[in-house]
Amino acid sequence: MTDVNPLFLLTGPEILDWLRQEDPNRLATLWQRADAVRSAHVGAMVHLRGLIEISNYCIRRCGYCGLRAPHTDLPRYRLSADEILAAARQAVALGYGTVVLQAGEDPVLTQDWIAAVVHQIKMQTPLAVTLSLGERTPAELRTWRQAGADRYLLRFETSDPELFARIHPPLGTQPCDRIALLREIQALGYETGSGIMVGIPGQTYASVAADILMFAQLDLDMIGIGPYLPHPATPLGQGQWSTPAPAGTQVPASELLVYKAVALTRLVCPEANIPSTTALATLNRQNGRELGLQRGANVVMPNLTPLAYRAMYEIYPEKACISETGTQCHRCLSGRIGRIGRVPGAGPGGRQRTPACTGSKP
Ligand code: SAH
Question: Which residue's CA is the closest to the ligand 1 atom numbered 8?
Answer: 134
Ligand 1 pocket list (CB less than 6 A)? 64-65, 102, 104-105, 132, 134, 154-155, 157, 197, 226, 228-229, 231, 279, 315-316
Measured from the Cα of 316, ligand 1's closest atom is: 22
Its pTM stands at 0.96
* CA-based R_g, the chain, Å: 19
Helix (H, G, I), strand (E, B) or coil at 185: helix
Instruction: Give long-range contacts, CB 8 A cutoff, 24+ apart: 107-111.
Output: 107/59, 108/55, 108/57, 108/78, 109/54, 109/55, 109/78, 109/133, 111/137, 111/139, 111/140, 111/143, 111/144
Per-residue model confidence (pLDDT) at position 354: 78
Per-residue model confidence (pLDDT) at position 321: 87
Give all domains of the chain, ordered by start, each with its CATH number.
12-340 (3.20.20.70)
* C-beta separation of 63 from 168 below 8 A: yes
d(CA 152, ligand 1 centre) in Å: 14
Return per-residue pLDDT of the chain as tens, 362 residues: 344 434 357 999 999 999 999 999 999 999 999 999 999 999 999 999 999 999 999 999 999 999 999 999 999 999 999 999 999 999 999 999 999 999 999 999 999 999 999 999 999 999 999 999 999 999 999 999 999 999 999 999 999 999 999 999 999 888 889 999 999 999 999 999 999 999 999 999 999 999 999 999 999 999 999 999 999 999 999 999 989 999 999 999 999 999 999 999 999 999 999 999 999 999 999 999 999 999 999 999 999 999 999 999 999 999 998 888 999 999 999 999 999 999 999 889 999 987 655 555 66
User: Across the chain, where does the E strand assignment appear?
Assistant: 45-55, 98-103, 128-132, 151-153, 191-198, 222-227, 299-300, 343-344
Contacts of 69 (CB under 8 A, 6+ apart): 58, 59, 60, 61
Per-residue model confidence (pLDDT) at position 242: 86
Contacts of 116 (CB under 8 A, 6+ apart): 81, 147
Name the residue of 68, 168, 181, 197 to mutate for ligand 1: max ligand atoms within 8 A of Cβ.
197
Per-residue model confidence (pLDDT) at position 156: 98
d(CA 254, ligand 1 centre) in Å: 17
Exposure letters 165-176 (e unless 16+ CB within 10 A, then b): ebbbeeeeeeeb
d(CA 326, ligand 1 centre) in Å: 21
Name the residue of 57, 225, 315 to mutate for ligand 1: max ligand atoms within 8 A of Cβ.
315
Residue type, 31: W
Helix axes 138-146, 178-187, angle to 10 degrees: 30
